[in-house]
Homo-oligomer: A and B are copies of this chain.
Amino acid sequence: MQATVITIGDEILIGQIVDTNSVSIARRLNEAGIVVHEKCSIGDDADEIVRTLDRALAASQVVVLTGGLGPTKDDITKKTLARRFGSAMRYDEAVALHVERMMTSRGISFNALNRSQAEVPACCKVLFNRHGTAPGMWFETADDRVVVSLPGVPFEMEHLMEEEVMPRLKAHFALRQIVHRTLITSGLAESVLAERIAPWEEALPDYLKLAYLPSAGIVRLRLSAYEVDGERIGREIEARFDELQRLIPAYVVGFETATVEAQAHRLLTERRATLAVAESCTGGRLAAKFTAQAGASAYFLAGLVTYADEAKTHLLGVDAEAIRRHGAVSEEVARQMAEGARRATGADYALATTGIAGPAGGTPEKPVGTVWIALATPTRTIAVRQACGTDRGQVIDRATIHAVRMLRDELQR
C-alpha cells in the first residue's frame, strides 16, 4: 500500500508558509500501515495538478491532496479534479445549509462565493467539514485507487483526516502494519554512536531499517519495519530495540515523540493535583503549553505573568528587597515566585520562570538566555539555573520546556 501526498498552493512554493499539513497526513497514513513514498508541493495550476495526480496514481493506491478549495478565484483544485474525473458539478444542499449556518453565526452574509463552496464534482463522495466551509472529497477510480481532496486550513484538514478519511481508508483497504520505534539519545556524536552500535546494526535483518536523525544535542535512532504481517516481526523489532538500549544505556533520554507537557498533563490529571504558574521571561507561554491541552481545566488553576517587578511583589508577594539585592533574575526571586503562586492560588504545584529573553538586558554575569526555573511542591521548593540560548524565541521555548520537564520529573519521582 503506497500513498502520495500532494499539497497545492503557490504560498508553499514561494516559501511563504511552512507545510505542516503533509507532515500530519503522512504520520496518520503511516500509523495505519500506508507507506508514503512521495510528498509533493505544486502551485495553483490546473495542468500541474493533473500531471502530478496522474503520476501519483501510477505509483500509489492512495493520493491525498490538500489546498485550493477556498471560495476565491485562485482556488482551482475542485474544478480541476472534476475535469480530470470527467464529472459534472452538482449542488450539495447539506453543505450549502452548513456553510450558510456558519456564516450566519459569524454575522456574515451568505453570498455567491459561499454558495459556490457547496458545488462538488458529481462523482465524488462529500466528506463533511463541520469545522469549515470547504467540503472534503473522496474519489474512487475504476482500478480501485482512492483520491482524497482536503482543505488546506490545518485544523479542518486534521478533523477530516481523523474523522472521515482514516476510517474510510481502513474500511476500504486491507492494511498491514508499519512499526517504528524511536530511541532518543543525547551525549554521543552521530559518528561515534554509529561506530558504537555498528555490530548491532550490521546484524539487523533486511526488513528492519535503521535511521539516524541528528538535531541540536540529540540523535534519534529510528528502527522501522514496513508492511508487517503477524506478530512475529512486532516481537522482533522490540527485541532488537531492547538490545540497542542495552548498548548505550547512559545516553538514552527518551522514546518516540511523547511530549513532556502531555506527560505532565496525564500525571496531574491522574493524581487530581492542581497547578499554577508564575512567569516572567516565558511571558504566558508556559501557561499556554498546559492550557492548549483539552482537559487542562481539571488541574490548571491560574497563571500569573508577572513581567514588571511591581507585579512580582504585588501579585506574588515577592520581597522587593530580594529583587533589589539579587535582581529579578535570581534563584531567590524564582523560588519566591513559585511559592507565591502556590499561596495566591492554593495550587498543589507551582512553576516559576524568570530570565533574560533578550535581545537586550544581558550582562556578563547574566547573559541573554540565563533563566532561573523554580518549582514549589507541597513538600519542598527546588530551583535550577539554565542557559537557554541566544535568540529571544529560542530562550522562551527552551525555558518553557525546561520548566515543564522539571514538573514532569518531580511528578515521576
Contact = CB atoms under 8 A, between A and B. Distances in A.
Interface stretch (A19-27, A231-239, A331-339): A19-27
A174 interface: no
Contacts of A286: 284
Contact of A306 (B19, B27, B302): B302
Interface stretch (A70-78, A84-92, A374-382): A70-78
A301 B315 CA distance: 11
B40 A39 contact: yes
B211 A131 contact: no
Interface in A298-312: 300-308, 310-311
Contact of A74 (B106, B211, B357): B211
A14 B180 contact: yes
A130 B308 contact: no
A285 B288 contact: yes
A312 to B, nearest CB: 9
Interface residues of A, number: 120
A363 interface: no
A107 B284 CA distance: 28
A44 B211 contact: yes
A283 B294 contact: no
Interface SS, A side: mixed
Interface stretch (A111-119, A137-145, A264-272, A317-325): A111-119
A3 to B, nearest CB: 9
Interface stretch (A164-172, A245-253, A384-392, A404-412): A384-392
Interface in A1-46: 9-20, 22-28, 30, 35-44
A30 B11 contact: no
Given A17-B213, A391-B131, A288 B284 contact: yes
A292 B222 contact: no
A307 B315 contact: no
A13 B26 contact: yes
Given A72-B190, A308-B302, A37 B30 contact: no
Given A70-B214, A111-B192, A360-B294, A15 B27 contact: yes
Q: Give how many copies assemble into the complex.
A: 2
A177 to B, nearest CB: 13
Contacts of A182: 16
A297 interface: yes
B19 A24 contact: no
Nearest to A153: B214
A112 B212 CA distance: 17
Nearest to A40: B40
A108 interface: yes
B307 A297 contact: yes
Contacts of A180: 14, 16
Interface of A: 9-20, 22-28, 30, 35-44, 48, 52, 70-75, 103, 105-106, 108-109, 111-114, 130-131, 133, 153, 155, 158-159, 178, 180, 182, 189-192, 194-195, 201, 209-215, 220, 222, 224, 257, 277, 279, 282-292, 294-297, 300-308, 310-311, 314-315, 344-346, 357-360, 387, 389-394, 396
